[in-house]
Amino acid sequence: MHQKYSFKAIEEKWQNTWESQGSYKVSEVSGKPKFYCLEMFPYPSGKLHMGHVRNYSIGDVLARFYRMKGYQVLHPMGWDAFGLPAENAALKNNIPPAKWTWDNIANMRSQLKRMGISYDWDREVASCHPSYYKWTQWLFLQFFKKGLAYRKEANVNWCPSCQTVLANEQVVGAGVCERCSTRVEKKNLEQWFFKITDYADRLLDNLPKLTGWPERVKVMQENWIGRSEGARVVFRSEEGAELPVFTTRPDTIFGVTYMVIAPEHPLVEKLIAGKPEAEAVRSFVRKVMDQDEIARTAADTEKEGVFTGAYAINPLNGEKVPIWVANYVLLGYGTGIVMGVPAHDQRDFEFARKYGLPVRVVISPEDVELKGEELTEAFAAEGYLVNSGEFTGMPSQEAIGAVIRKVEELGIGQAQVNYRLRDWLISRQRYWGAPIPIVYCEHCGIVPVPVDQLPVLLPEDVRFKPTGQSPLAELADFVATTCPTCGGPARRETDTMDTFVCSSWYFLRYTDPLNEQMPFSREKADYWMPVDQYIGGIEHAILHLMYARFFTMVCYDLGLVGFEEPFTNLLTQGMVTKDGFKMSKSKGNVVDPNYIIDAYGADTARLFILFAAPPEKDLEWSDQGVEGCYRFLNRVWRLAVEIYEKYLPVWQDAATGALSPAGLELHRKTHSTIKRVSEDIQERFNFNTAISALMELVNTIAKYIAEDQERSEPWVVREALQSLLLCLAPFAPHITEEIWSAFGFDGSVHEQNWPEFDPAALVLDEVEIVVQINGKVRDRLLVRKGISEAELEEKVKALPKVSEALNGKTIRKLIVVPEKLVNVVIG
RNA sequence: GCCGAAGUGGCGGAAUUGGCAGACGCGCUGGACUCAAAAUCCAGUGAGGCUCAAACCUCGUGUGGGUUCGACCCCCACCUUCGGCACCA
């Protein structure tokens, strides 16, 4: 063995060997358990960043671990390759987006290879390749056939910087674009949508079954879906126009003192027709519409409204109440009309007080009488009905059902569930995406491109000007086509699909990446799926993770797969920060993975990033911490060299005779380390503590060989070294492979069975008992294992510390925790 | 405002879930090796008190209470930080 740890030579050597031997290629094997380990595929921005390094290091530990555990491990990598940066780069540098993207992919692929991640590169996919987006388009057509892809005009989010529309999920924070943080505007446009709302219930109901998902991700999805149960009740205006409302509190219907309609509601014009208030209402509506959507929907925006001059009739008590228009009612939720119950809804309360509308109490707590005029805030809790006709006296829970039955009887309403979730807007007015496979024909209307004409290829000779229209629209050759149905002249859809569509099914393609007949075969998908461990950033908690679930459910309904949920276990890794901030160019705190690999090697980079923090937490980058990990690997190397020189000539496989105390301790440490590392990887994902256990083992081995003069029990050292290499292999694959091979051990370290610990090795003859007096540690006692409780108590009582503390007082109580602790309670 | 997560040495973090707080690593201090430095190795390292030294004692896991023989861990109230949602009827 070389005296020096030459990481560069070692890493290159083994990466080449693994590649030429196809070490990580995998196929289906019946009768062997499978493990699908998946990291979120990256956008090919050009360079790996530390977040990627962290993501893929975590995945690789698991992939290598489960391989050693005897699983068929599917561990693929690919590229989420459509998207705006390619177009922006094209504009800036005059490079075609395709070239820019493929160059970036080549660059990042070679970086990943330098990391030594165990991917099956034969399964690599790129969402911008026609062999992939052909199937994205195919899936779109399946959605279309099922009525799950449709076109409609809607008031949609528009990012003026990206010059395209966005899905609701892509508007974040205070109404800014998820990509570029530009403030999003609203536009009325005709667009393509996926009917994700049809799946709202299933997306919600399955959440509790996802026991391997972090609670917070599930909560975020639950909030996003925003299910609320209530009733739809149709009020009527005096003139007879239907005014349906959605309410979660039908029990408060006798407390309605006014109605509110959203300013942009189409009924507004009808209501004010011929009324003296008409002009005032119109000018109010204009004012609200001019207001920024974001400002208008903020919770702290002042509630404002005007009376329309029209009245509605409460269908339950026949009462006539005024209809108002107000900014706090949104057209997009429920029916866009709200029944105003100021006594029992805080928003209605504020509005009513401002405009002097009556506040009528219809729900009362058990022992207090509320008075509308005296309330300072709405009473929104449950209680008993008052002033509510035949329902008076009912508890509100019961009344909800009773009122619903009543309106059903009257034929003016029914129970209804409402969702916050909106349909997914998927069309984008941009070039670098999968073309939507649709043709518009003057005679036949919207016509899907027949499957045998897929893919609709993305033309490459395109000029870029972000104009708010897809650049494809300017390509006459692309636009002009013939109708697949009637053969007449037709025009192609020029919008492309949201890149989140492409990433909603890539995990299925990995299971069968070369299939030319189908996006994937059901057989292969059912073999590998669901993903056993998915790893990625928390930023996808709603977006990608909900879309992917939706796609999988649709595929299930289409009979393409035999499972509804794609990801059994989800690990959301924390950010990599430096100086307390997320690494970013603008902050100037970026650490380049290339630099770290050049200076210390991939093994050190991987080890540090896994050691510095548990995976779910944010990780603060530390150059000194990297040094520490580099030192550790050097220590491992020197230790191996020393063992090679001193022990290799006297190796023995098996135990002979009884071990010395030091040998026994090393043996025990070896097995406790195996136990610890196995549990930390498999059950807790605590790679940091697994690594610290390995550091302890190295320290113990070093101490042992420094003191071992006779070398009469070399098998203990051999066992310790082999176990160390095997347990370290998933974290630092190159150095362990090199040492394993230098010692002439069989095959590749990565193809060995994961070591099993021997419980017998962990058994101690003697255990240290902590002795507490009144709960405070006062002494320790070494006793033989299996000592009787009575004998232990005697020994404890005999301790000088105990008699000293006793000093005339009595022992009140003696708590004994077997093999651990005795607490003497003195009083 | 609502929901959720987190607060432990100089720093990153341990404590396998109610039983020795601070594992492991970084940093720092002292020592060995060296002409010197780097590298490496050894020892020490929560705060305070007492002591020549050791022994020993007190305090200590965001704050204040509580439960318990015993609390970083459980309960109640609060503070701070970070995320998500936010006029959703």
Residues A617-652 pLDDT 10s: 999 899 999 999 999 999 999 999 999 999 988 887
A126 band by pLDDT with thresholds 50, 70 and 90:
very high
A738 and A771 in a single domain? The answer is no
Domain closes at, from A716, A733, A762: A762
Q: Which of residues 563-622 of A touch strand B (CB under 7 A)?
A: 611-614, 617-620, 622
A737 and A816 in a single domain? The answer is no
Separation of alpha carbons A172 and A668, rounded Å: 53
A566 CB contacts (<8 Å, ≥6 apart)?
A507, A508, A529, A530, A531, A534, A548, A549, A551, A552
Cα angle value A333/A338/A340 (rounded, 5°): 145
CB of A814 lies under 7 Å from some atom of strand B = no
Protein residue nearest nucleotide B5, by CA to C1': A216
In angstroms, what CA-CA distances link A175 with A126, A159, A293, A299?
31, 10, 9, 13
Contact between A138 and A551 (Cβ < 8 Å): no
Cα angle value A126/A128/A129 (rounded, 5°): 70
Contact between A157 and A180 (Cβ < 8 Å): no
Give me the residues paired with residue A234 across strands.
A244
Separation of alpha carbons A564 and A203, rounded Å: 10
Q: Mean per-residue pLDDT for A795-810?
A: 80
User: A777 CA, B71 C1': separation in Å?
Assistant: 15
Separation of alpha carbons A197 and A210, rounded Å: 20
Cα angle value A561/A205/A247 (rounded, 5°): 135
In this prediction, residue A174 carries a pLDDT of 72
A412 band by pLDDT with thresholds 50, 70 and 90:
very high
In angstroms, what CA-CA distances link A554 with A36, A176, A198, A265?
21, 30, 10, 33
CB of A99 lies under 7 Å from some atom of strand B = no
Protein-contacted positions of strand B (CB under 7 Å): 1, 3-5, 11-16, 19-21, 23-27, 39-42, 57-58, 69-71, 83-89
Q: How many CB atoms lie within 10 A of CB A503?
A: 25
Count of helix runs (H) and strand runs (E) in chain A: 27, 34
Asked if residue A96 is part of any domain, the answer here is no
Closest residue by Cα to residue A527 from A29, A26, A6: A29
Residue A221, nucleotide of least CA–C1' distance: B84
Q: Which one has a higher pLDDT value, A708 or A291?
A: A708
Which residue's structure tokens are 């006297």?
A650
CB of A778 lies under 7 Å from some atom of strand B = yes
Residue A351, nucleotide of least CA–C1' distance: B87
In angstroms, what CA-CA distances link A651 with A642, A660, A730, A739?
13, 17, 26, 16
The tokens describing A313, both together, are 């009739």
A711 and A726 in a single domain? The answer is yes
Cα angle value A233/A239/A240 (rounded, 5°): 35
Q: How many CB atoms lie within 10 A of CB A610?
A: 25
CB of A382 lies under 7 Å from some atom of strand B = no
Q: Mean per-residue pLDDT for A459-467?
A: 74
User: A218 CA, B3 C1': separation in Å?
Assistant: 12
Closest residue by Cα to residue A717 from A797, A815, A656, A651: A651
Contact between A82 and A502 (Cβ < 8 Å): yes
A721 and A669 in a single domain? The answer is yes
| HEC per residue, A688-723 | HHHHHHHHHHHHHHHHHHHHCCCCCCHHHHHHHHHH
CB of A301 lies under 7 Å from some atom of strand B = yes
Closest residue by Cα to residue A610 from A571, A581, A662, A561: A571
Q: Which of residues 703-722 of A touch strand B (CB under 7 A)?
A: 703, 706
Separation of alpha carbons A725 and A733, rounded Å: 9
A411 and A439 in a single domain? The answer is no
Whether omega for the bond prior to residue A130 falls within 30 degrees of 0, making it cis, is no
Q: Which of residues 648-677 of A touch strand B (CB under 7 A)?
A: 676
| HSE-up (13 A, CA, CB side) for residue A384 | 10
A151 and A298 in a single domain? The answer is no
The tokens describing A175, both together, are 């109404």
A252 and A400 in a single domain? The answer is yes
Residue A300, nucleotide of least CA–C1' distance: B87
Separation of alpha carbons A25 and A18, rounded Å: 10
Contact between A352 and A360 (Cβ < 8 Å): no
In this prediction, residue A810 carries a pLDDT of 82
The model's pLDDT over A525-580, given as tens digits with 9 standing for 90+, comes to 999 999 999 999 888 888 899 999 999 999 999 999 999 999 999 999 998 988 77
In angstroms, what CA-CA distances link A744 with A1, A52, A226, A668, A712?
11, 35, 61, 25, 22
Q: What three-state secondary structure class fits A522?
A: helix
Separation of alpha carbons A261 and A551, rounded Å: 36
Asked if residue A368 is part of any domain, the answer here is yes
Domain closes at, from A734, A762, A790: A762
Percentage of chain A surpassing pLDDT 70? Answer: 99
Q: How many CB atoms lie within 10 A of CB A171?
A: 18
A279 band by pLDDT with thresholds 50, 70 and 90:
very high
* pLDDT for A29 beyond 70: yes
In this structure, what are the phi and psi dihedrals at residue A87, rounded to the nearest 5 degrees? -70, -40
User: A59 CA, B13 C1': separation in Å?
Assistant: 22
User: A293 CA, B26 C1': separation in Å?
Assistant: 50
A796 band by pLDDT with thresholds 50, 70 and 90:
confident
Separation of alpha carbons A739 and A755, rounded Å: 17
The tokens describing A655, both together, are 């135990």
A663 and A740 in a single domain? The answer is yes
Q: How many CB atoms lie within 10 A of CB A557?
A: 16
CB of A230 lies under 7 Å from some atom of strand B = yes
* pLDDT for A517 beyond 80: yes
Query: Measured over all CA atoms, what is the biggest interatomic distance in chain A, rounded to whole angstroms?
Result: 109
Residue A339, nucleotide of least CA–C1' distance: B89
User: A334 CA, B29 C1': separation in Å?
Assistant: 69
* pLDDT for A294 beyond 70: no
Separation of alpha carbons A49 and A605, rounded Å: 12
Q: How many CB atoms lie within 10 A of CB A640?
A: 23
Q: What three-state secondary structure class fits A605?
A: helix
In this prediction, residue A818 carries a pLDDT of 81
Asked if residue A315 is part of any domain, the answer here is yes
The model's pLDDT over A146-182, given as tens digits with 9 standing for 90+, comes to 999 999 988 888 888 888 888 888 888 777 888 888 8
CA A387 vs. chain centroid, Å, equals 49
CA A214 vs. chain centroid, Å, equals 8
A456 and A472 in a single domain? The answer is yes
A760 CB contacts (<8 Å, ≥6 apart)?
none
User: A658 CA, B7 C1': separation in Å?
Assistant: 50
The tokens describing A368, both together, are 């207090």
Separation of alpha carbons A694 and A699, rounded Å: 9
CB of A827 lies under 7 Å from some atom of strand B = no
Q: Mean per-residue pLDDT for A774-784?
A: 84
Buried b (16+ CB within 10 A) or exposed e, A402-432: bbbebbeeeebbeebebbebbbbbbbbbbbb
CATH of the domain at A749: 1.10.730.10
A318 and A407 in a single domain? The answer is yes
Asked if residue A245 is part of any domain, the answer here is yes
Q: Mean per-residue pLDDT for A753-774?
A: 88
Element (H, E) at A800: helix A800-806
The model's pLDDT over A40-70, given as tens digits with 9 standing for 90+, comes to 999 999 999 999 999 999 999 999 999 999 9
Protein residue nearest nucleotide B4, by CA to C1': A216
Torsion of CA A92, A95, A98, A102, to 10 degrees: -100
The tokens describing A554, both together, are 């649709």
Per the structure, how many domains does chain A have?
4
Asked if residue A243 is part of any domain, the answer here is yes
The model's pLDDT over A668-678, given as tens digits with 9 standing for 90+, comes to 999 999 999 99
A496 and A467 in a single domain? The answer is yes
Asked if residue A600 is part of any domain, the answer here is no
A664 CB contacts (<8 Å, ≥6 apart)?
none
Cα angle value A800/A806/A811 (rounded, 5°): 115
Contact between A308 and A261 (Cβ < 8 Å): yes
A306 and A350 in a single domain? The answer is yes
Asked if residue A681 is part of any domain, the answer here is yes
Q: What three-state secondary structure class fits A62?
A: helix
User: A295 CA, B1 C1': separation in Å?
Assistant: 17
Q: Which of residues 165-184 of A touch strand B (CB under 7 A)?
A: 172-173
Separation of alpha carbons A44 and A78, rounded Å: 9
Q: Mean per-residue pLDDT for A235-263?
A: 94
Q: Which one has a higher pLDDT value, A185 or A5?
A: A5
A179 CB contacts (<8 Å, ≥6 apart)?
A84, A159, A162, A170
User: A642 CA, B41 C1': separation in Å?
Assistant: 15
* pLDDT for A466 beyond 70: no
Closest residue by Cα to residue A206 from A187, A225, A182, A234: A225
Separation of alpha carbons A261 and A275, rounded Å: 16
Asked if residue A28 is part of any domain, the answer here is no
Q: Mean per-residue pLDDT for A296-319?
A: 88
Residue A812, nucleotide of least CA–C1' distance: B69
CA A424 vs. chain centroid, Å, equals 18
Domain of residue A320 covers 228-418
Cα angle value A654/A658/A660 (rounded, 5°): 105
Cα angle value A625/A717/A682 (rounded, 5°): 55
CATH of the domain at A338: 3.90.740.10
Q: Which of residues 257-286 of A touch strand B (CB under 7 A)?
A: 262
Domain closes at, from A762, A793, A817: A762
Separation of alpha carbons A351 and A226, rounded Å: 25
| HEC per residue, A32-55 | CCEEEEEECCCCCCCCCCHHHHHH
The tokens describing A355, both together, are 């405009």
CATH of the domain at A778: 3.10.20.590
